[in-house]
Amino acid sequence: MTFDRVRAAFSLRRNLTSLFVPPAGHLRPLDGLRALSVLWVVVFHTGWFARFALTPENWLRFVFNPWMLPIWRGDFGVDLFFVLSGFLIAGMLQDERVRTGRVALGLFYLRRLMRLWPALLVAVCLTLLSEDPNRSRVWANALYLNDFMPVGLVPLGWTWSLAIEEQFYLVCPWILRAAASLGTAGRVAVVGGCMLALTLVAVGVVVAYDVRPWDAEILGSPNMLRWGQVFDVFYDKPWMRAGALLAGVMGAILYREPRVMSALAGAGWIVGPLVGLALLTMALATHWPLIVGSSRIVEIAYLATFRTVFASAAAFIVLVTLSAHPIGRLLAKPLSSRVLYPFSQLAYSAYLLNPMVTVFHEMRMTAQVAHGEEPMHIFAPVTVVSTFVCAAILHVFVERPVMQLRPGRS
């Protein structure tokens, strides 16, 4: 590693420019989808943490405001991010195998660690300097084991998704390796079989822990003990959330099959209704009240599949957006906007820092918003802007430089 390379990696001008200038060959629509997913999650976190700055009356008014419903479903932004991650990682691994005839797993894991760990360690250090009563267990976050610990006993509770990502990186190369000798249909069947197996596991969890439709509400419940128990078995375990990652893997396999993309490009008018159906499916999958009062079989079926169904529909949208179909080009144009690109580049740092920034503002703005009927007018804009300012600092000075120092190709 030469001094010139290190100096270039830490170049402030170069790293700032990278936030606004996409490199050649980027799948720009995916950048737009990543930006939308992190914005959805950031605004959701901002609203969720506002509960500690409001009176109970104003919090309930806030929760039941119908205009807030899309924001309260912001936890599905993580599922969308999982789809994109599965798509990109599986694509990277497949392309390397085609290019070199093998996958250098050691190099792959080293590059993933250098991509994600530095920014996480900054968040870990900030936690150690805070007054978080759980900070002594921050080792679980650093080792990506926190999703196996009770959510109430670990700091950085939102980083369960990062742990699932890392656990996915351990498994995904082996799934693709096992299916490498098969054709496209065979690889799709292998991934589909894994999704089915996880669905059966999810059925077992739903039945064993008597999970009900309202348990799918991430906002919480009057019985916070029950909420924590359900969170730990139903919400943050890899076998409950990997369906979205595998939907992305399947999308990556199909995207690299010319016959599939050619058929999609030439599918004609039917693509429009299919896209509409996919978007409707995504919306319905997020809304658990639709099954309240249904039979227990319907409840179990929904609770065991709703995130995978959401993710599979999202993966279809990804494929359409990357296709040459006119509707795909229509969708790709706004998603490829230069306005969204910086948000996509800051997605990881923003996700890491957003709850910290939100709590920081909540502690200082309680008096201002406690009696207001529309607290988001004050709370949300300041918190969202501050989140991305802090994320830009972390990205430019830590995340981006270490990315540039990784060995090998992407």
- Per-residue pLDDT of the chain (410 residues), as tens digits, is 677 888 888 888 999 999 998 888 789 999 999 999 999 999 998 888 777 767 777 777 778 888 888 889 999 999 999 999 999 999 999 999 999 888 899 999 999 999 999 999 999 999 999 888 999 999 999 999 999 999 989 999 999 999 999 999 999 999 999 998 899 999 999 999 999 999 999 999 999 999 999 999 888 766 778 888 999 999 999 999 999 999 999 999 999 999 999 999 999 999 999 999 999 999 999 999 999 999 999 999 999 999 999 999 999 999 999 999 999 999 999 999 999 999 999 999 999 999 999 888 777 766 665 555 455 666 778 889 999 999 999 999 999 999 998 887 54
Q: Extract the tokens encoding 50.
A: 């506002």
